[in-house]
Structures are given as structure tokens and as C-alpha cells.
Structure 1
Amino acid sequence: MKRLAKKRKTTYICQECGYESLRWMGKCTNCNNWNTFVEEVKQPKTVSGLGARTSNQMSKPTKIKQIVSEKESRMMTDMKEFNRVLGGGIVPGSLVLIGGDPGIGKSTLLLQTSAQIAEKNLSVLYISGEESMQQTKLRADRLGIEADELYILAETNLFTITHHIEEVKPSLVVIDSIQTIFKEEVTSAPGSVSQVRECTMELMKVAKTNGIPIFIVGHVTKEGAIAGPRMLEHMVDVVLYFEGERHHTYRILRSVKNRFGSTNEMGIFEMKELGLQEVLNPSEIFLEERSRGASGSTVVASMEGTRPVLVEIQALISPSSFGNPRRMATGIDSNRVPLLMAVLEKRVGLMLQNQDAYIKVAGGVKLDEPAIDLAIAISIASSFRDQPTNPEDIFIGEVGLTGEIRRVSRIEQRVQEAAKLGFKRVICSENNLDGWTYPKNIEVVGVKTVHDALRSGLLQK
């Protein structure tokens, strides 16, 4: 009798979230996206991993007191902004994922970083899956890069990549991008959920085993999230987002996950003809075009990780021509605007229910901490009453639903940054006044409610 061939097992995987299904579905039940399921062949499990190991090869649990912890030595680049976002430099054996919109400058940033490490007589392997070696060389010539220890490789086969890593033994590896790399044992196309997951797992093993830091570039979806399975961000040690408008010169490198440092750190860069140049004092950049004496404009000291950044918040309040007034916000959570407007209407008496509200954070920065509430409320009231604020005032505080101003963290660092840039007065919560010393050249005013803050902050005509 003829032996029946084994039926090929297939599964359908959502390319957005990695959800698996035994049959094709038009809409993913996990992430609610349409037409994202792709058929993939299920690989037969081989005898490997735990089942293939002998008892001598298996790792053993060790008491924490017996583990010898080595002093953490980091590789430093010439860009202080880049080092700070990483938590103080590049950690050996770390796997770093950096994502951003197409053409924003991810490859430029990593090529400059690779050149700076290579100029310290440390070998760097830059692997491009999207460009040929000649195209990468043209970009390096434009940036003025001539480092001897910088190796360029145009390859997408993971087996070949790992072979060259073991051969060159570099101090740093850059892979641009993870969506172009494929593993031969996985039958799905490059960029699929299975390929991205398996290739990242293999690269993580290489990084941890050899102590080589690896940077991988990830594409982003139209919603701004890194493409591929969500598990990709959980696998890596550090997740960085490179943000900015393509038509503006400033770029923001933001840390959203970091096992070796503070999250929500932010670094500012300026795109110039010879590449990216770090901006050491972003507060001056965000405030340099501020118009003094205009209503609806306030300045807030927001914390981005461990750094205070002074940013202008603008508001425009105008009578609505429709039954439902518009509430639009750029750079802040849009749900926060109607909440603060309701507080102003209930606790202060401003009739805002028939007013359109447009709120914007100048400079393209995104703020998400509660300490910006007071500045937003003052901007709305200033525009509605057409009363400007003092251009030398800073507003810091969280606004509660009863109209009270609540304390915020790291008030001392915020006030010191404001004093350094020449501001004369800070209006904050009364509960933030104790336990620290104010700078001599700035006045700190404590308020209890939004009504008190408006009385102190708005200029009378």
C-alpha cells in the first residue's frame, strides 16, 4: 500500500497584531483591522531546544548572592542627546529597536552613530537590506564619513548575516531593516509576522551570547506603531521612536521602553545638509518664535524623562457657527480639552459651551503629563477673554475636577530651567512650595484654584 502523504498544515496570521486563526477572516477579532490575514505554512517541530539538550548543557538555577555582577560599561557616541535617550550610552549585548516614518532620518542617525563608534577603533558592521553597498557609500560620502573600521554589508539572509557577525566580531551591529531580513526555515515572506518574530529571536540570541549591541530598524504602520507583532517590542531591550515633520528640520528621538535607563526620555536633533546635529537646549528652540503680548499663549515646563523642557501652548477660542462646537488639539490628548473647558465653565463661570476650541503645542512636541493642565486652562481663558498673559510667567500644575490645582513632581528642576531661560515668575500649586529652595532670580507663586491662577496670570486691559 502507498503511504499517504501528510497533509500540509496551514494557519492564518494577522499581519498587524500576530493573532492566529485556523481559517481566513476578513476582520481580525483581536485588533479589528480588515484584510490583514495571510496564509502561512506551519513548520513541523524538530527535536531541538529543551528536548535536545543533555543535563550537562542545561542551565541551572543559581542563588542571587552567588552571581557575580559585572560593572556596566557602556559605549559612548559623540552625540550627548543620543547617549541620554539610551540611558547613558550603548549597553553591550543590548537589542535596540528604532522606528519612525519613512524618510524621517533613521538610517542617517544610525549611520552617523556607526561612524562615531568606528572612529574610536571599534569595528562596526552596518547591514542594509534596502540599499546596495554603493548606495550606502553615496550616503556616507554626503555625510562626510570615512571611518576605517566601518564595514558595510548588503544582505537579507539571516544565516549569512549571523555568519558575517561571527567572522567580523564587531563591537556594534546595525540592521536596516528587520522587515527585509528572512530566515530560510520559515516559508512565509519577509516582513511577515513569523519572519519578524523568528529573525528578532535569532538576533537577540546573537546579541546576548556574544555581548554585541544590535540596532534594528523597524517600519511603522499608518497609525504610527511599529509594524509587525506587538511581541516585537516586548522582545527587545530598548524601543526608540524617531519623530518629526518631514517638512521641518527638527527631529525628536523618544524612548518608550528602556531596560537600562529612564523611559520617556527625549532628544532633539536638527536635520542639516551634513546630517543630524544635536540640539543641546531645546527650550530655546521651542520658544524662539513666540509672539509676546498675544492672548491665548502660555509657557509650561514639562518633564520629558529626566529633562525639563519649556514649551509654548497656544489656544484659539472663537464663537461656533454650528450646533456642536469643535474641540481640536494638536500635541496633547484631545480628551483633555473638553474636560478642562468644563472645569472653567463650572468653577470659573466662563460660558464656553458655544465656543470652538483649538489647542496646539508649538514646535511639534507631544505632551502627555498632567502638569500641563494649568497652562492649557490659562490659554483657553486668555483667548476667550482676549487678555494676554505676562510673557515672563510659567504655569505648572494639574487641574482637578473641583477646580483645585494639584502638586506635580520635580518642581525644582522645572523652576531652575525657567530661571535659566530668563523667566521671572512661576505660578504653581500651593502644595509645591515646601521642601526646596527657590532660585534667587525668579518668583514662585502658589495658588489653590484655577480661579486664583486666572487672577494672578491674566493681565488686565
Structure 2
Amino acid sequence: MARARTQYKCRSCGYISASYLGRCPNCGAWNQFEKESQEVRQTSTKATPSRLMASVGAKEAVKMSTVKAEKEERVLTKSSELNRVLGGGIVPGSLVLIGGDPGIGKSTLMLQIMSELAEKYKVLYVSGEESASQIKLRADRLGLGQSPMLLYPESNMEHIRDQIDDVKPDFVVIDSIQTMNEPSLDSMVGSASQVREVTAELMKIAKLDQVTVFVIGHVTKEGSIAGPKILEHMVDTVLYFEGDEHHAYRILHSVKNRFGAANEIGMFEMKTEGLAEVTNPSAVFLDERLPDSTGSAVVVSLEGTRPILGEIQALVTPTAFGYAKRTTSGLDYNRVSLLLAVLEKRGNLMLQNQDAYLSATGGIRLNEPAIDLAIAMAIASSYYDKEISATDCFVGEIGLTGEVRRVNQIQARVKEAGKVGFKRIFIPKYNMSPALQDLGIEVIPVSSVRQALHYLFS
């Protein structure tokens, strides 16, 4: 016997309520509840997330010591940057979610990668947003018009499942997940329930049929992938395409990866003929740096396992208003405010009546604590109006008492700085080791902010 079940789900966080609510009690969002109605059968084989896990699991519990771990043979693409972000290549049977702002290059990247894979494998490109002729026009512009890739403009999941069963592809691209429709659900296309059920069905296809599925997802104005957070929990890998509309560079950032290290990045440049790889990001971020400029410091940041040199700029000027203004771009505002307070208290810099503007150049966003020392030195350079040598760079986390704390992967950072051509690098004292002396760069250990200021500006 079938029975109808009605519930209301928050589009922002996925909270479920038996009745409509104006404000979500879980996340506080207003007017986000939508009605969900569906038929529930006791013998249903529909691929809900719980049934999906049962379908791909074992029939009975087994000892871990008796399980044979079979290493998956990864599929390598011609894009070394994408291979890096995925942890060494594409894992067959995986479900990969690619999110990003509209027009950032998600569809372009997939079209380029899948056109190349279509030379050896069977690829099905499912589009719910464009017709076959529109995709063909874009492929011609990118020089990919003669690719043997299969195009299927469709948004109905029943038809898509039938097409996958008929074609039996090795790779499937869903562009985009918000346009796909599960006909058995009563909710509107793009709603939380639709996105969740479609993703569960795609996961079943990927795991049971060993089909690698790439899913393109839109990003909301808050910067998160549209749909409930369960979407990111269900997939194997989550990649974010980031970039500034005023810059040609795009960064593919791995947020989650079940088959490799997370937080890896790959860098691309958007050109007329498509996305081109950037194999040396450090040179890109530093090539426009002015010599003998004040308020500029170079940091060796670590993105995943990849060290990247970036420039941090600071402008400190006397405030014309009753309170000092702080502005950041590409840096965490709260972290910068904390470092300004530490410099005033521990470094004797009178910053309470100074406006401070800080930026990470090139459109990159730096978040790790190891950039603290470079931020502090850039602020001090602008405050004293004294330049920092163009061959100096910095690594170190700063504590509230002004100490410079150790960071991870120091040898890789120092080696990258020496390879790019820097002569000196300031690092935390507790990271110092004899092995760092043989990397072709002078290593200066510092234990506090005051000591670093004394080295540079006394």
C-alpha cells in the first residue's frame, strides 16, 4: 500500500518540519521552507541515501584483516593541474562535484577534459541548460568540434538513466545538478529534495555500474553550492572553481577528496581558446611586483602539498575620521585585525589612529596561519615607510604574545623560495634545522615579532 507523506524542508540547511515555518529554527533563515510530497511504499527500491549505502555495501559484516584492498587504477588526463587536484588522476566509479560562480569556467573545463578523454573512452555529456547545437558552437570556439563525445540535452532523470543503460559510458557529465528533475517527486526543479534524490541516483549509477560521474553545481550568493549540505556529504570529491571576474586566472580548489589529499589547488588561465594550465603560479603572483616599494612582503603559502609564493600588500595611512578603518581583500578580516592589535601591543606600532588596507595580489585567497609574519612585516613596512628587500620572504604564525610559532612543511616552503630566486627567508625559530642550510637560500630564524622588526627596520 502507498501512502502520501508531506513535510517541509529548509532550502538552506535541510532542516525538516512537519508544518510550514517562516523562520528556520536551525539556521535562522527566513522564507526558506518548501513543501515536499511523495509516495512511500514499503517495497520501494528507490535509491534514497540510506538504501544507496546498503546497495553498495556488503551482505554481512567481515573482519578488516580479511578484506583485500584493491588499488584503483587512475585515469590520467592531459591536464596535470586537474590530476593534481584529484589526487593523481580520476578514480573510476567516483562521483565528483564541481562548483563555482556562473561563468567561471566549469562547463568549459569539463568540455575540454571530456573531449580529450573521448578519444579513448566513451563519454556522455548530459546538459539540462543548453541544446546540442549550443554545446557544439562552444566546442567549435574551443577547437573541439570534431570530438566523438556523445551529447544528450535532457533533464528528466528517468530518460537519463535509460540513456546511460543503453550507451554504457565510462564517463558522464551532468550540467548542472540544479536542472535535473526526478519525476516521482512533487517538489520543484532545483529544490533541496530534487537535488538530494538526483545525487543519490547518480551515486548509485557511479558505484554499481563503475561509471565516473562529474556533476556541475551552481553557487549561491553566499558562496556555497546550492542545495543542502548533504549534497557535499554524498559525493566522493568536491572541487570549487574560484577566481575574480577582473582577472583571467582561475583556481580549482579541492575541498573534499576521499581518494587523495584535500586542499590541493590547480591553476588555469582563461583565454579565448579555453582554459590553459599555469604550471608556475608563484611567477604569476610576483611578476608585477614593483622594486623598492613599501608595504609589500612575500609569503610562501602552502595549498595542500603545493608551496606557492604570493605577495601581500599593505597601506597604512593616518585616519581622517574618528575611528580607524580596516579593509582586506583575499585575507581574513578578523585575522588581520588581530595582527594589528599584536603589532601595537608587542611591536610598539601606534596603529589605533591609522587606516589599514591589506590585499593578497593576483586574486588568490590566503587563509593559513603561516602568512601571519608576512602580513605583519607588510604593515610595518608601510607604517615606517621603509621597503623590504625584494629578495626576502616570510613564513610564520604569530601568537597573541607576539611569538612566532612553528609551521608545517617548512622544508618544502624554503626549497620553493630558493628555487624562485629569493636570497633570504624568515622562519620560526622552532622550525630551524641543519637540513635547511643546504637549500641554496639564507634562513633566518626569529622567535618574536619584535625580533623580526629589529632585523628589518632597525
TM-score normalised by L of structure 2: 0.94
Q: What is aligned with 1:418?
A: 417
Quote the residue 2:272 is aligned against.
273
- The match for 2:163 is 164
Cα distance in structure 2, aligned partners of 1:368 and 1:429 = 18
Deviations 1:9-44 (A, max 9, x none): 532221122112222222222222222122222432
Q: Which consecutive residues of structure 1, in runs of 5 or more, have no partner in the other structure?
A: 1-5, 52-56
Question: Which structure is higher in helix share?
Answer: 2
Q: Which residue of 2 aligns with 1:3?
A: none
Mapping 1:254-273, distance limit 5 Å: 254-273=253-272
**What is the CA distance between 1:436 and its match in structure 2?**
2.1
Alignment of 1:40-439 (within 5 A): 40-48=36-44, 59-119=59-119, 121-146=120-145, 148-434=147-433, 436-439=435-438
Q: Is the contact made by 1:100 and 1:219 (CA closer than 8 Å) also made in structure 2? A: yes
Superposed displacement of residue 91, structure 1: 0.3
Per-residue deviation at 1:7? 9.4
Alignment match of 1:20 (pick from 16, 19, 27): 16
The structure-2 alpha-carbon separation of the partners of 1:342 and 1:102, relative to structure 1 and needing over 3 Å to count, comes to: same
Match of 1:54 in 2: none
2:117, 2:452 → 1: CA distance?
A: 50
Instruction: Report the residue type matching 2:455 in the other structure.
Output: S
Q: 1:8 to 1:89 in 2, by over 3 A?
A: closer
Task: Determine the C-alpha separation between the residues in 2 that align with 1:29 and 1:435.
Answer: 56
Q: How far apart, in 1, do the equivalents of 2:388 and 2:438 lie?
A: 22
Bigger shift: 144-153 or 396-405? Answer: 144-153
26-35 or 80-89, which deviates more: 26-35
Secondary structure in structure 2 of the residue aligned to 1:390: coil
For the 8 Å contact 2:343–2:349, the answer to whether it is kept is: yes
Q: Deviations over 1:322-364 (max 9, x none)?
A: 2221121111111011211111111111111111111100011
Q: Distance in 1 between matches of 2:226 and 2:367?
A: 23
In the alignment, the residues of structure 2 paired with residue 71 and residue 43 of structure 1 have an alpha-carbon distance, to the nearest angstrom, of 41
Inter-CA distance 64–248: structure 2 relative to 1 (3 Å threshold): same
SS state of the match for residue 436, structure 1?
helix
Deviation at 1:373, TM superposition (A): 0.4
Instruction: Name whichever of 272-281 and 27-36 sits farther off.
Output: 27-36
CA contact (8 A) 2:436 2:443 kept: no
Percent identity of paired positions between Structure 1 and Structure 2: 55
Q: What value does the CA root-mean-square deviation take over the aligned residues?
A: 1.8
Once the two structures are TM-superposed, the CA of residue 140 in structure 1 deviates from its matched residue by 0.8
Cα distance in 2 for partners of 1:98, 1:368 equals 21
Distance 1:98 1:210 in 2: 21
Distance 2:100 2:24 in 1: 25
Corresponding residue SS for 1:444: strand
Instruction: Specify every segment of 5 or more residues in structure 2 that has no aligned partner in the other structure, as ranges.
Output: 52-56
Counterpart of 2:37, as a letter, is V
Which one-letter code corresponds to 2:231 in the other structure?
Answer: L
Q: 1:167 and 1:32 mapped to 2: Cα distance?
A: 46
Change in 2 beyond 3 A, CA 1:175/1:456: same
1:269-326, Cα deviation, whole Å (9 max, x unpaired):
0011110000000000000111111111000000000100000000111111222211
> 349-358 or 16-25, which moves further after superposition?
16-25
Residues in 1 aligned to 2:9 and 2:126: alpha-carbon distance in whole angstroms: 28
One-letter amino acid of the structure 1 residue matched with residue 41 of structure 2: K
**In structure 2, what residue type is equivalent to 1:95?**
L
Once the two structures are superposed, residues 124-171 of structure 1 have per-residue CA deviations (whole angstroms, 9 ceiling, x without a partner) of: 111101000110111111111145531110011111111111211111
Looking at structure 2, the residues matched to 382 and 437 of structure 1 have their Cα atoms a distance apart, in angstroms, of: 27
SS at match of 1:43: strand
Contact map agreement 1:10 1:41 (CA 8 A) in 2:
yes
Aligned pairs for 1:437-456 (under 5 A) are 437-456=436-455
> For 1:155 and 1:457, how far apart are their aligned partners in 2?
62
Q: Distance in 1 between matches of 2:89 and 2:164?
A: 22
Shift of 1:111: 0.6
Q: TM-score if structure 1 supplies the norm length?
A: 0.94
- 2-side partners of 1:415 and 1:440: how far apart? 7
Distance 1:421 1:7, change over 3 A: closer
- For the residues of structure 2 that align with 1:388 and 1:351, how far apart are their CA atoms? 19
Q: Which moved more, 1:38-47 or 1:308-317?
A: 38-47
- Tell me the distance in 1 between the aligned counterparts of 2:382 and 2:440: 29
Instruction: Quote the Cα distance in structure 1 between the aligned partners of 2:74 and 2:135.
Output: 27
CA–CA distance in structure 2, aligned partners of residues 402 and 322 of structure 1: 30
Question: What secondary structure does 2:362 align onto?
Answer: coil
**2:27 matched residue in structure 1:** 31
* Amino acid paired to 1:259: R
CA contact 2:247–2:362 (8 Å) conserved in 1: no
Q: Equivalents in 1 of 2:359, 2:139: separation in Å? A: 37
Aligned residue pairs total 448
Whole-angstrom distance in 2 between the partners of 1:75 and 1:240: 17
> Is the contact made by 2:414 and 2:436 (CA closer than 8 Å) also made in structure 1?
no
